[in-house]
Structure 1
């Protein structure tokens, strides 16, 4: 990379500290640029359902941008690898965990505002489900799914909304 840009690697290290530090800074910019629309969607819509739906659609838009790689670097960069990349993998995992937290926080706000009629008991599972759908959209795009195919996945994910949020129906799995 340094050679292709005509920059000495010493200059890169002097500016960024290390490859890992450079990667973290790239991910910050990437997160702001490509992660901004889905994050904004969570906050700009009056209902939680509309916010989640818009977030999924914004994600599909971002991972299928023309003239850009069809995937999310956050999901697919360094999930595995050498031991020396542990700090980078953990940094990426922290960002992915923050996505889950942002989605969960939107559900909590919906409950507090009376938009959702449910207890906090199932919010972790539902938020994790939608975070998994977000991450899956990226993997599907990487494997060649186009925007229309991702929209079909989003339609399926939203079709389960009422069942997932039915406070009378217990969610499978451990509850907190």
Structure 2
């Protein structure tokens, strides 16, 4: 009787990392189960046992992205540097990350948006992740107001919205082939306007 070898161990962390890249490249709706199973190198039974569903894996992938690539915006919560420096670093690191060709371009939290009505709860998941960034920008700007880096005449609410539009707009620019250098020039101009106002 031929003795079968032991099945190869399943590396969950590696599987989630691979799923991050697939969802980042194709978005939730366009990433098929067959693509996921092939990329992860596991059977359907193993896939469902590990993640429950494509949605279950997507949720894990979003968490992994936020905890890794998404840390580009972490300066927003760094109170040891000036608020304007924190904003500049968050934008700069985001631009650097989004234009890095070692992985898909842009931001997963922006491009993986699901358009299917039946997956509206996943849109809420992504919106929540983006809202945390908005809150970080707003808190940074409020601190900038208190520290005299932003004029009392400037609306923090409007300025925060401008920064959010700028930050999330980096994704479109990166996906369209904008270089880090060109985005950095735009960031420098943006920060110069804030500091002068």
Q: Would the TM-score normalized by the shorter structure come out above 0.5?
A: yes
8 Å contact 1:71–1:139 — kept in the other structure? yes
Structure 1 portions without partners, runs of 5+:
167-176
Summarize deviations over 1:53-74 as a string: whole Å, max 9, x none.
1111111111011321121111
Q: TM-score, normalised by structure 2?
A: 0.73
**Alignment RMSD, CA only?**
2.2
Q: TM-score, normalised by structure 1?
A: 0.81
Larger radius of gyration: 2
Instruction: Tell me what 2:184 maps to.
Output: 151
User: Among 117, 120, 133, which residue is 1:86 paired with?
Assistant: 120
Corresponding position: 1:131 with 2:164: yes
Structure 2 portions without partners, runs of 5+:
1-35
Instruction: Tell me what 2:44 maps to.
Output: 9
8 Å contact 1:43–1:51 — kept in the other structure? yes
Aligned equivalents of 1:45 and 1:136: distance in 2? 27
Alignment of 1:54-133 (within 5 A): 54-78=89-113, 80-112=114-146, 114-116=147-149, 118-119=151-152, 122-133=155-166
User: Compared with structure 1, are the counterparts of its residues 49 and 24 closer, same or farther at alpha carbon in structure 2 (3 Å cutoff)?
Assistant: same
| Moved >4 Å (runs of 4+) | 117-121
